[in-house]
């Protein structure tokens, strides 16, 4: 196909957003995708896990129905229906992505893409047909794949990644999850709600690294209260088959333990997916973390760009989307940029955790003078009516109150509430300005207002606390 301005490799949240934005800017665009449109996030990650999370949430309410004065004699989990619901949601959204691409006149080529050189891409379809695409620019948005540690027994039947975990037909009686990051903790909550006995083994001293330690410590306590066993500072040494079960050998701070389970979920992070791209042949520079790019997202080869997980910068769907828009806008001469200091991050567990900006530990490391404030959801009327009042809003601000440094929320709807903090921080509000925004009552957002007001000594619905 001659005369193309841009070939995008990968139709995930980075690739399809970049393709549509490029088309809006007047470019003739082709997007190549070896799987379904929407990428890992839509097909095997963000969306299907949230569908299962909602199932787990509903079951949690049913288990606690007596608290609300509702008697339920009994219920059962129908995994066939659970999967059907999840698949319907995914199909709807993948179809929506294809529709958006086509409506923006983006040509879709299904198949595996290979970069021959700058300006030339080959796409091999499932039937073996090869199509050559000549183009002015190439944008790599091929995403990431699950990484596996070199642990003996990782290839045993029953040892799965998050992709297989999403298609579970039955719930194991016991499961060991290797890795206490976002993926591992989200699945821990889902499996436990579905009735499994869950043990999480995390190598680091805290679950979910890079999140404020006070928040993750609170989350660990709440998850353990639900019955999830969490072993931090622990290392899986070996997995063996023992009869019908798997035997997981763990070094827990020098103490050897053996865990027996029906399944092992490996969630030890993700790595760039550059399979078949021919980066070496095309001369594109990369390392084990990802493809190297400059401020314009251009690689060392002029005319070849990369965004999203494949660069190894920040592996989040919304970051990939922002990078995709920014990359093509810079191709068009616009000087937009992504602010990597203000990336909202959410963990869908029980309860939700969301954050933006600096953690308290990061503020200390950077030598910033700061103050903190915490508002407990136990003092929030809306949270109490929901029966979901565990957690808090933690606000970190500059000592002179000139700006917010970080906001961390553990509690109901934290993933939605963090948007308010994002707006305030992107708008560079002072503490006074952010606290001066009127909030409706009764709403969960009042907890954010309470945390801000306390920094000013103006909190009404909490006892006076001396700020640090």
Over residues 300-342, the pLDDT tens digits come to 999 999 999 999 999 999 999 999 999 999 999 999 999 999 9
Q: For residues 177 and 197, is the Cβ–Cβ distance under 8 A?
A: no
**What's the pLDDT tens digit per position in 64-103?**
999 999 999 888 999 999 999 999 999 999 999 999 999 9
**What's the pLDDT tens digit per position in 246-298?**
999 999 989 999 999 999 999 998 999 999 999 999 999 999 999 999 999 99
Q: What's CA 236's distance to the chain center, in Å?
A: 24
Q: Which helix (H) or strand (E) holds 322?
A: helix 317-331
- Phi and psi (nearest 5°) for 319? -70, -45
Given this model, what pLDDT does residue 275 score?
Answer: 94
Q: For residues 274 and 311, is the Cβ–Cβ distance under 8 A?
A: no
419: Cα within 13 Å, side-chain hemisphere: 6
Q: Which numeric CATH code is attached to 159-268? A: 3.50.50.60
Name the fold adopted by 4-146+271-331: FAD/NAD(P)-binding domain (3.50.50)
Given this model, what pLDDT does residue 2 score?
Answer: 56
pLDDT band for position 210 (50/70/90)? confident
Q: How many angstroms separate the CA atoms of 186 and 132, rounded?
A: 41
pLDDT at 465 over 70: no
Strand partners, 265: 160, 177
Nearest to 460 by CA among 381, 389, 372, 385: 381
pLDDT at 467 over 90: no
Active-site residue among 206, 408, 439, 441? 441
461 is catalytic: no
- Give the residue carrying structure tokens 């893409």: 113
Q: What proportion of the chain, given as a percentage, has pLDDT over 90?
A: 92
pLDDT at 468 over 60: no
**What's the pLDDT tens digit per position in 120-133?**
999 999 999 999 99
Q: For residues 11 and 101, is the Cβ–Cβ distance under 8 A?
A: yes
Q: Please state which architecture CATH assigns to domain 351-455.
A: 2-Layer Sandwich (3.30)
Query: Does the global pTM surpass 0.85?
Result: yes
Q: For residues 407 and 437, is the Cβ–Cβ distance under 8 A?
A: no
Nearest to 313 by CA among 332, 294, 335, 285: 294
**What's the pLDDT tens digit per position in 347-380?**
999 999 999 999 999 999 999 999 999 999 999 9
Give the SS3 label for residue 315.
coil
Q: Do domains 4-146+271-331 and 159-268 have the same CATH topology?
A: yes
Give the mean model confidence (pLDDT) for residues 147-159. Answer: 92
Q: For residues 306 and 169, is the Cβ–Cβ distance under 8 A?
A: no
Q: How many angstroms separate the CA atoms of 49 and 224, rounded?
A: 21
Torsion of CA 101, 104, 109, 114, to 10 degrees: -90
Given this model, what pLDDT does residue 385 score?
Answer: 97
Question: How confident is the prediction for the chain on average, in pLDDT?
Answer: 95
Domain boundaries, the chain: 4-146+271-331, 159-268, 351-455
């Amino acid at each position: 196909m001659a005369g193309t301005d841009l070939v995008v490799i990968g139709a995930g949240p980075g690739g399809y957003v970049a393709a549509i934005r490029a088309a809006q800017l007047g470019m003739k665009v082709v997007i190549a995708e070896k799987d379904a449109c929407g990428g890992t996030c839509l097909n095997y990650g963000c969306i299907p896990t949230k569908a299962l999370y909602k199932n787990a949430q509903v079951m949690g309410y049913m288990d606690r129905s007596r608290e609300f004065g509702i008697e339920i004699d009994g219920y059962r989990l129908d995994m066939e229906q659970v999967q059907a619901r999840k698949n319907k949601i995914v199909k709807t959204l993948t179809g929506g992505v294809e529709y958006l691409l086509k409506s923006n006149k983006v040509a879709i080529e299904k198949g595996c893409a290979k970069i021959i050189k700058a300006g030339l891409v080959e796409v091999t379809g499932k039937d073996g047909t090869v199509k050559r695409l000549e183009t002015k620019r190439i944008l790599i948005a091929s995403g990431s794949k699950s990484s596996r540690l070199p642990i003996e027994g990782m290839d045993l039947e029953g040892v799965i990644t998050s992709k297989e975990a999403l298609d579970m037909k039955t719930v194991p009686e016991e499961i060991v999850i290797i890795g206490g990051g976002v993926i591992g903790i989200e699945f821990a909550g889902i499996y436990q709600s579905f009735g499994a006995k869950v043990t999480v083994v995390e190598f680091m001293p805290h679950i979910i690294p890079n999140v404020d330690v006070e928040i993750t410590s609170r989350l660990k306590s709440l998850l353990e209260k639900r019955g999830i066993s969490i072993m931090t500072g622990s290392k899986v040494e070996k997995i063996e088959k023992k009869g019908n079960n798997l035997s997981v050998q763990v070094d827990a701070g020098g103490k050897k333990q053996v865990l027996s389970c029906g399944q092992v979920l490996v969630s030890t992070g993700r790595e760039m997916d550059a399979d078949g791209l021919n980066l070496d042949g095309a001369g594109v520079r990369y390392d084990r973390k990802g493809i190297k790019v400059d401020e314009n997202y251009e690689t060392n080869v002029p005319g070849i760009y990369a965004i999203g997980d494949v660069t190894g910068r920040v592996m989040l769907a919304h970051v990939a989307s922002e990078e995709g828009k920014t990359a093509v806008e810079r191709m068009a001469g616009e000087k937009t940029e992504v602010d990597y200091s203000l990336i909202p991050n959410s963990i869908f567990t029980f309860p939700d955790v969301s954050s933006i900006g600096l953690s308290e530990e990061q503020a200390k490391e950077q030598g910033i003078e700061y103050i903190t404030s915490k508002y407990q959801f136990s003092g929030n009327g809306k949270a109490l009516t929901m029966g979901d009042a565990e957690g808090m809003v933690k606000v970190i601000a500059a000592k002179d109150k000139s700006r917010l440094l970080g906001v961390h929320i553990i509690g109901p709807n934290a993933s939605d509430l963090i948007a308010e903090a994002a707006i305030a921080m992107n708008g560079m509000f002072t503490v006074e300005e952010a606290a001066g925004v009127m909030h409706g009552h009764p709403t969960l957002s009042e907890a954010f207002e309470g945390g801000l007001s306390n920094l000013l000594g103006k909190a009404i619905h909490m006892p006076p606390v001396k700020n640090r």
